[in-house]
């Protein structure tokens, strides 16, 4: 009878390595705890994260949340085999999304899924998430790792995250107070951030025939390094600016570019007039345009074009805002104004591309 028994199976045989997952938890424990503050009540590994909320300084506290991923930028990280910055991208994207409404980030949770868990790769990814949280001043309170080899191909990973922030209701920034004549100020991006990568990869690796180790024309960097430049977090500088001027509206320039994102915060009946000559797009964008033969309008919808974040203030506070941002080591640009009788965004002039270094 014993010879007829089926083979003994285990969870590892089915594709889930609990020991590897436990190794990752041990490896990331210290770096995750470095994001904790007095509001985090339980250590890593609990069934649910607990965060003590202090709203004593607020008249009507409001929680603001967002969830997102890093898109196909993760594919570039896999190609380059560099995993320690992709987590920064994830946190920065989510932080900026709630920042536009005036929220201060409180805590973050991540979700990582793969075919087969590699402890070193996962530790690098979660380490990047932790670094992004420390910079933004929020706690990484929990997460989930899932091995699903029947869902993901070999050496495939996906990374997503959820952020929760807090704002006093009277201080919510939703664009409702924007009026004609308000000034639109742009802050520089650090590259593509986390949007437009499906098109950028097609241009670089198919149309231009480049590899990750080739030089990205005009940048003095490899293609891999240029594409993996981390997404900027604007949390610190914007939190400072909110104490100095009355910000009426803010825009995180993500998928859809300036064209699609600015109208999301401008009241009905108003639009944005953007002066393209107000800034120079970095050489990376010039290369993508030429190598991919991409039309100008498509560039403005697919990429941030060098402007990663936008602040809208009254004309009489524009100089104060520009001075504060400059003092914070930014190079702010007045890129336009709020106008009547414009549906969405109207562009004036021609965009210039910075000369290669």
User: Is residue 1 over pLDDT 50?
Assistant: no
Write the pLDDT tens digit of every residue in 242-268. Answer: 999 999 999 999 999 999 999 999 999
**For 79-131, how does the pLDDT look when each residue is reduced to its tens digit (9 = 90+)?**
999 999 999 999 999 999 999 999 999 999 999 998 888 888 989 999 999 99
Average pLDDT, the chain: 92
Q: Around Cβ 163, how many Cβ atoms within 10 Å?
A: 28
Fold of 183-353: Phosphoribosyl-aminoimidazole Synthetase; Chain A, domain 2 (3.90.650)
Pairing of strands 270-275, 61-69: unpaired
15, pLDDT greater than 70:
no
Q: Which long-range contacts (CB under 8 A, 24 or more apart) does 78-82 make?
A: 78/155, 78/156, 78/157, 79/212, 79/224, 80/212, 80/224, 80/225, 80/228, 82/224, 82/228
- What whole-number distance in Å separates Cα of residue 159 and Cα of residue 124? 12
Residues 6+ apart with CB under 8 A from 303: 192, 195, 196, 199, 200, 257, 285, 288
Confidence of residue 232 (pLDDT cuts 50, 70, 90): very high
Band the pLDDT of 32: cuts 50, 70, 90.
confident
Q: Is CATH 3.30.1330.10 the classification given to domain 7-171?
A: yes
pLDDT band at 12 (very low <50, low <70, confident <90, very high): low
pLDDT digits (tens, 9 = 90+) for 50-74: 899 989 899 999 999 999 999 999 9
The residue extents of the domains of the chain are 7-171, 183-353
What does the angle CA 342 – CA 302 – CA 89 come to, to the nearest 5 degrees? 120
How far is C-alpha 352 from the geometric centre of its chain's CA atoms?
Answer: 25
pTM: 0.91
Residue 17: pLDDT band (50, 70, 90) is: low
Mean of the pLDDT values across residues 168-189? 97
């Amino acid at each position: 009878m014993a010879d007829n028994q089926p083979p003994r199976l285990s969870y590892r045989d089915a594709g889930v390595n609990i020991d590897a997952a436990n190794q990752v938890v041990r490896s990331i424990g210290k770096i995750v705890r470095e994001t904790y503050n007095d509001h985090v009540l339980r250590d890593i590994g609990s069934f649910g994260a607990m965060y003590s909320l202090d709203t004593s300084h607020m008249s009507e506290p409001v929680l603001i949340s967002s969830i997102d991923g890093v898109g196909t930028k993760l594919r570039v990280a896999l190609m380059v085999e560099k995993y320690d910055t992709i987590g920064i991208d994830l946190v920065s994207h989510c932080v900026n999304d709630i920042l536009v409404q005036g929220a201060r980030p409180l805590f973050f949770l991540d979700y990582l899924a793969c075919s087969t868990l590699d402890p070193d790769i996962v530790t690098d990814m979660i380490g990047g998430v932790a670094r992004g949280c420390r910079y933004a001043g929020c706690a990484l309170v929990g997460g989930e790792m899932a091995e699903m080899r029947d869902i993901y191909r070999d050496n495939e990973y996906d990374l997503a995250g959820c952020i929760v922030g807090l704002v006093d209701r009277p201080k919510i920034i939703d664009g409702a107070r924007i009026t004609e004549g308000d000034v639109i100020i742009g802050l520089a991006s650090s590259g593509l951030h986390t949007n437009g990568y499906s098109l950028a990869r097609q241009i670089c690796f198919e149309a231009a025939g480049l590899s990750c180790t080739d030089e990205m024309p005009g940048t003095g960097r490899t293609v891999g390094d240029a594409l993996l430049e981390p997404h900027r977090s604007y949390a610190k500088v914007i939190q400072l600016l909110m104490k100095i001027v009355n910000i009426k509206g803010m825009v995180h320039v993500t998928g859809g570019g300036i064209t699609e994102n600015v109208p999301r915060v401008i009241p009905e009946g108003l639009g944005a007039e953007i002066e393209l000559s107000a800034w120079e797009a970095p050489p990376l964008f010039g290369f993508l345009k030429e190598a991919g033969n991409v039309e100008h309008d498509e560039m403005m919808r697919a990429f941030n074009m060098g402007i990663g974040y936008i602040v809208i203030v009254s004309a009489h506070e524009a100089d104060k805002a520009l001075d504060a941002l400059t003092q914070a080591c930014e190079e702010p640009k007045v890129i336009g104004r709020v106008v009547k009788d414009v549906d969405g965004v109207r562009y004036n002039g021609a965009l210039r591309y910075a000369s290669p270094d």
